[in-house]
Structure 1
Amino acid sequence: NNRLMISILSHIVEFRNGESGLHILHVNTITKYLLKQLVRLTDQYPLSKADISLISTASGLHDIGKISISDTILNKHGRLTAEEFEVIKTHSMIGANMLLDLPIEQQEAPLVIVATEICRWHHERYDGNGYPDGLKGEEIPIAAQVVALADVYDALTSERCYKKAYSHEEALKMILEGQCGAFNPILLRCLQEIADTLESELMDISSEQETENIQSIRHKIDYDRLFSYEKYTFLSRKQRELQLLYIDSLTSVYNRRYYDEHFQGADDIQAMVVIDVDNFKYINDNYGHDAGDIVLQRIAQTVLSCVRKTDAVIRYGGDEFVIIFFSIPPDIFEKKLERIRHSVDRLIIEDCPELHMSVSIGGSYGSGTTKKLFKAADNMMYQSKNTKNKVTICFLNEDKGSRDFI
């Protein structure tokens, strides 16, 4: 709930500021990677996994003070005057004061304490030439130091109303040469060491995550798929009954009953996919069934984010999912399955960051009955299972009665 509310508030600020809504997600991601690398390099900052998660979450509030800045200045095209820049600089104090005005019991919450530090001091610089208080070196809390560097990197590599985006290489060069102010030398080393990973990760986020985020914070059940004839802002009794009948309560995708009643006799399916979660028993045995449930939920939502509204995602049973495709070109089909595999492979569960998830995917493409396509896809999935974290596809050729394997 903290992450959701911070995301909502942060996006309000960012959209008003004329910046990409991805800025918050980028700063969160960069902050997390920097902190993880920092604890690998030095014991100077004894940060736990919980601390890293807390700081990364609180980073989303770093610019809330901008909500008080006039649109004329905030979205000005071109260079700010000295007077306008002084106004912009007030956002750091304003953001901190907003949090300090909360009831005392809320001010003492760890998230608020860290967010207040970040709001006030994320424009301080290691040499003391930042604002608003001119703090120097380790006078600046490490949370604010890291978010400051993350904020600058993303500001450089993102397009703004007043500038074009710099390349990853140009941004690194500018930061390391001190063109954007002085930063903690250890953090600069961290940035250099995660640079390649960071560039790849942010490119993936920019191209895919906006859609995934929208889908993950909307209603978990896309009622348009079930109730195209009704588009109410509330659930009717009939809708609630259908939800109970056809939606899996854990993952919010379709359930086995929906598959049995709607697709068993279908003969117009273009392609079918069977997905099995790798090492699921090991996850349950070693991390507990609660972690196993989270894994299934995250994988289900990831699969949903990779397919179209016209495709059906079904929890077929246990840790097995089925996807049914209609009217999809073969090359797009291949790319979607690889995207699913790659997206699951990148998933991280905040409370269990060491837990790696992967799936074995089997696909069958070509006209045929549900039974025929399922059997072929299931066979392909078991081939993938031999090595795990793999996609295997067969193309059914009705004329030749042959199969091509990938």
Structure 2
Amino acid sequence: MKNLKFSFFILVLSTFTACDPESGSEKVDFDREAFLINMADNVIQPSIEDFASKTANLSTATTSFSSDISFENLQELRISLKAAWLSYQHLAFVHVGPVSTVNLRDRVNIFPSNPQLIEENISSQNYVLGSASNVSAKGFPTLDYLLFGTANSDEEIVAYFEDVNQGQNRIQYLTDVVADIQSAATRMAEGWADYRMTFIGNTGTDVGSGTSLLVNEYNFQFDIRIKNAKIGFPSGGNPRTGGVVKPEIVEAYYSGWSGELAEKAVASSIAVFKGENFISENDGLGLDDYLVALDARDRNDNLLSEAIINQSLAALAEMEKIDAPYSEVAAVEGGQLVDVYNALQTVIPLIKVDMTSSLSVSITFQDNDGD
């Protein structure tokens, strides 16, 4: 009997010593604080700073165009818009702290835009961009419409802003939309320093911890905003569409930048997953290293970290096969985009089920996607 009691005591003791009291997950040789510090200082902060810099350039180009409405200044404004929009694709994967506080996704990248609402706002000059009713009349998709979709030629677009009756209202709306984007960027840049200690201080994996926030935002961006919004819904690949294609709802419909933005988003997903330094691209402590420390495996007993990276690269390779804007591809041969959707879908169970289970992180967002 004594031996039985002693064996039971050893079993209980080993159970407690093998568990992390902060999260309930198995103890591993991995420094979560160092991981969060790398993500904070080398991934998130420089992403915010880059976005702030790009939106400042966008603001400057808008001022130049407003004071001198010309083809040359229109081109410069378009270039600065594209740079800021590409920068956003990386930042969207670390939608935490001040990025989340300003609700960056909904503030700058709800697509498709609503041209009718935009034109109504311009005509009435009675609008509040921060209101829920104007979510599809602001941000990058609205600039995409204003700078590319208001006429059939560049000359006509310049004339759109020079119009005697509505020209000044249109310039004002353009300026207000850009100012709203830059305001969000400024608030993020100013707020990160105060939030940093909170982010790296919670080293558990419970809801609200730095790890949980990163994993949830990573899943949300990859699943909801890339797989579905950028690809699945326009192409008819998502089962919820019933196979109906909607080319007009792609991201950057008017400029035709949809493919470049989507490729940047998937490339960013890999960089963030690996904890790559935003500036130098040196490999730091990332989610991949955490999974390796756990010896996490996929359902084929391959290293989960490698499976996630390889499947993401395979999806990116499918994207790179497409040269035309996604609106044209969806309208003519949507099968190519469906192939991209299916490739992205193979990543979802790896990050949404296997990764979250391995890290003892709960998915806290609702997608109602059924997959």
Determine which structure has the larger strand proportion and give its number. 1
Determine which structure has the larger helix proportion and give its number. 2
Larger RCO of the pair (alpha carbons < 8 Å, separation 6+)? 2
TM-score (norm 1): 0.25
Q: Which has more radius of gyration?
A: 1
TM-score (norm 2): 0.26
